[in-house]
Amino acid sequence: MSKPVDTPPMIAPMPRDLLGDPLEFFAADHLRQRAAFALIERLATASALDRTLAAHVLEFLGKDMVAHVLDEEDDLFPLLRMRCEAEDDIEHVLGDLSAEHAAEERVAVDIRTGLAEALEAGRPVGDIEGLGKRMLAFVHAESRHLALENGIVFPLARARLSEDDLRNLSARMIQRRSSQ
């Protein structure tokens, strides 16, 4: 069996100081997700299990990604539905993104279960049936999802949300993280 390798965590901490500007926070969170996807790809294809990295990714998927989806589903998307004009034609985009949130959450739960199993057994991801493939598919789907939000959703939020909306959004996102 190849020797285990351990690397320090490489996903930057949540930029809480940006929560006062929620759209900046979303942008920073998406950058963190890109870093996380690169690490997930690395874990999926490595011949030895990097335990530190696996634990870090498990924590990211179980906490940060969950909070991010709630920020969008419970706060940002409902606000956009209220503020966007018919010409923005946002509903089908939000509908598709919400369906992806639900689907990817199920995949993330499977990946977490698989990673926990790999950690427990001290085996690389490739030894857990279907796990590497699921992780790579997750990264592919999430990268596309994130690009759609960056390209369509966030520019519309900048254009349509009022100062009050942004203040309320900020308060809700701070509240969500207050117990973390």
Question: How remote is the C-alpha of 96 from its chain's centroid?
Answer: 16
The answer to whether 46 touches 2, Cβ cutoff 8 Å, is: no
Q: How far is the CB of 111 from Fe ion (least distance, A)?
A: 17
- Give least dist CB 164 to Fe ion, A: 23
Task: Give the list of residues 6+ apart from residue 160 with CB closer than 8 angstroms, or none.
Answer: 80, 83, 84, 85, 88
Count how many Cα atoms sit within 13 Å of the Cα of residue 126 in the half-sphere of its side chain: 10
Q: Which of 44, 149, 165, 170 binds Fe ion (CB under 5 A)?
A: 149
Query: Which CB atom, from 50 or from 71, has the smaller least distance to Fe ion?
Result: 71
End-to-end CA distance of the chain: give it in Å, rounded: 38
Phi, psi of 47 (to 5 degrees): -85, -15
Smallest separation, CB 113 to Fe ion (Å): 22
Residue 53 or 76 having the CB closest to Fe ion: 76
Which of 11, 36, 37, 72 is in the footprint of Fe ion by CB under 5 A? 72
In angstroms, what is the minimal distance from the CB of 95 to Fe ion? 13
The answer to whether 163 and 15 are in contact (CB under 8 A) is: no
Check residue 75 for interaction with Fe ion (CB under 5 A). Answer: no
Size of the site for Fe ion (CB under 5 A): 2
The helix/strand/coil state of 123 is: coil
Beta carbon nearer to Fe ion, 72 or 165: 72
Least spacing, CB of residue 84 vs Fe ion, in Å:
17
Binding site for Fe ion (CB under 5 A): 72, 149
